Amino acid sequence: MSLKNALQLDRVSKSFDGFKALSDASFTARWGEVHALLGENGAGKSSLMNIAAGLYAPEAGALFIDDNPVRLTGPRDAMRQGIGMVHQHFKLVSPFTVAQNILLSMNQSALRGFYDHKLAKVSQAISQKSEELGFGIDPRTRTDRLSVAEQQRVEILKVLLAGAKILILDEPTAVLTDDESNRLLTTVKALATRGAAVILVTHKMHDVMRYADQVTIMRGGKTVATLAPQSVDLSKLVKLTVGDTDSARSVSEPHIRGAARLVITDLSSAQTTTQASNGVLRGVNLTLHSGEIYGIAGVGGNGQTELANALMGFGAPTCGDMLLDGQTQLQSLTPTERRAQGIAAIPADRYGAALAAPLSVADNYAMGQIHSGRYGSFGWLNSRKIAADTTKAIEAFDVQGVRSIHQKAALLSGGNAQKLVIAREFNHPPAIVFAHSPSRGLDVRAMGAIHARLHAARAAGAAVLLISEDLDEVLALADRIGVMSSGRIVVEFNQPADRQAIGQAMVHHV
């Protein structure tokens, strides 16, 4: 029995500032299936799905739900049609609790009673759905106290509880561990089996091969192929996605560990929280050497975000020592002094913490050197020098999609936004690199470029600390691996490390 069409986009086109993001792109998802959408960053995947979710209006083409033509007036209209999208960059109100965020997204007319009654009812629904999915989310927790992985789970809960039957998940496993990813995608597959239509926007070939019933590949704003992933082998799928480019990760140079650059001793959160483990550092101890990549693995919400914030100079106060080169307390340094020490920072939230999305590409690149005086004083900035440096950097770091250095950074795809961050942070060879989930949500090509930069920094003698909830990334890059659980490093592994042993350490210490 053939399955009926749930969502169709037929020959859709869309431009931004004269750039053709979509050109006659077509896509069809059917009820009862998981349909993956593959393509490089900038291929048009998110633009196409943003049209399906009512965020953009197409300039040409048509949208159908249940084979009926519709014109969406916005995201709420899309939700009324049963379409919900979980975005790669989250749309949560930070000071609000999980329950308050989800209540905001729901149809208020369907919830009777006063605010407190509504909140209690939503909280109960969150707890039930969270338990069903194995998310472990407390509806009373403020979202700004959640890790990136936990915030993503809240977004998934928000869409499901709002009643979506057509689910669009943009990189849903990018910040999840293997076990979490398998559990989530098994749940997603079960939802499709029960009749939902699930669209999985992802760069993870394993997820597609194991969980998707159909896959559509996009390139250059066009759909180039739709097929059953089981009908091709992995190498063929990679080639269809990225062309003839070699997608294999480059082999790093032999590891020669140098002197200790950063010694962290008994680093703890200065304030406690009602949660037993979430959002609290409980005595982190580690030593980072020059010429090495130290990777931190762990289940989301065990202090990784708080450690990254402490290292990068923002977040809640901490107690303990972070001694730089045996003499300077890292936490005492201003941002200008940190840059003078050669410290490069790559936060997990590239738009929330690394880039000012409304500002231009040039402004975002130049802000790393404004305090140094390279571009003049605050009263007069040398715009020509800024333009020249930015143009040179975007070429050297292969930042695609920059039609003008004066365009908003928000118009860059995720991978190219990350390349812009690294271009700014690596404008001089860094001595120390703090990288939190640097390739989150990136395609194979962009991921390879980011990893190559981290390898090059390490080969040049930099000390690199990599915090990632993608175990594949940690295993591929790190020379030593520390497992973080309940706010501390509980065990360390030297390479070659046993993946299963690391996974067991991550789970058994939680």
Buried b (16+ CB within 10 A) or exposed e, 14-39: beeeeeebbbebbbbbbbbbbbbbbb
Backbone dihedral angles phi then psi of residue 157, each to the nearest 5 degrees: -60, -40
Tokens of 35: 């349909």
Nearest to 148 by CA among 73, 90, 77: 90
Backbone dihedral angles phi then psi of residue 19, each to the nearest 5 degrees: -95, 130
Tokens of 296: 């931190």
SS (H, E, C) 164-218: CCEEEEECCCCCCCHHHHHHHHHHHHHHHHCCCEEEEECCCHHHHHHHCCEEEEE
- Which DSSP symbol is given to 228? -
Task: Find out whether the peptide bond into 139 is cis, omega within 30 degrees of 0.
Answer: no
Nearest to 166 by CA among 43, 66, 70: 66
Tokens of 206: 């394993």
Q: What is the pLDDT of residue 73?
A: 93
Give the 3-state secondary structure of residue 110.
helix
- Residue 100 identity: Q
Tokens of 354: 């690394």
R_g (Cα) of the chain, nearest Å: 23
Q: What is the pLDDT of residue 106?
A: 78
Number of Cα atoms under 13 Å in the Cβ half of residue 481: 26
Cα–Cα distances (Å) from 37 to 34, 168, 260, 422, in that order, read 10, 10, 44, 27
Q: Specify the pairing of strand 60-65 against strand 166-170.
A: unpaired
CA distance 103 to 110: 11
Q: What is the pLDDT of residue 97?
A: 95
Q: What is the pLDDT of residue 320?
A: 93
Q: Can you name the residues that pair with 217 across neighbouring β-strands?
A: 38, 225
CA distance 184 to 471: 16
Q: What is the pLDDT of residue 460?
A: 94
Tokens of 381: 């900035």
Residues whose CB falls within 8 Å of the CB of residue 437, separated by 6 or more in sequence, listed in order: 148, 174, 175, 348, 467, 468, 469, 470
Instruction: Note whether 477 and 294 are within 8 A (CB).
Output: no
Give the 3-state secondary structure of residue 494.
strand
Domains of the chain listed by start with CATH number: 5-242 (3.40.50.300), 258-342+432-510 (3.40.50.300), 349-427 (no CATH)
- Residue 166 identity: I
CA dihedral angle for residue 433, residue 437, residue 443, residue 449, rounded to 10 degrees: 10
Q: What is the pLDDT of residue 242?
A: 65
Residues of the chain with pLDDT under 50: 245-252, 272-278, 509-510
Which pTM does this prediction carry? 0.59
Could you please report the per-residue DSSP string of 317-379? Answer: -EEEEEEETTTEEGGG--HHHHHHTTEEEE-S-IIIII--TTSBHHHHHHTTTGGGTTTEETT
Burial class (CB in 10 A: 0-12, 13-18, 19+), 116: exposed
Q: What is the pLDDT of residue 176?
A: 64
Helix (H) or strand (E) holding 7: strand 5-16
- Residue 187 identity: T
Nearest to 159 by CA among 147, 172, 148: 172
Buried b (16+ CB within 10 A) or exposed e, 472-491: ebbbbbbbbbbbbbbbbbbb
Q: State in Å, rounded, how far the first CA of the chain is from the last one.
A: 45
CA distance 376 to 382: 6
Instruction: Report CA torsion sign: 300, 493, 509, 261.
Output: negative
Helix (H) or strand (E) holding 385: helix 383-396
Q: What is the pLDDT of residue 340?
A: 87
Q: What is the pLDDT of residue 175?
A: 59
CA distance 305 to 265: 18
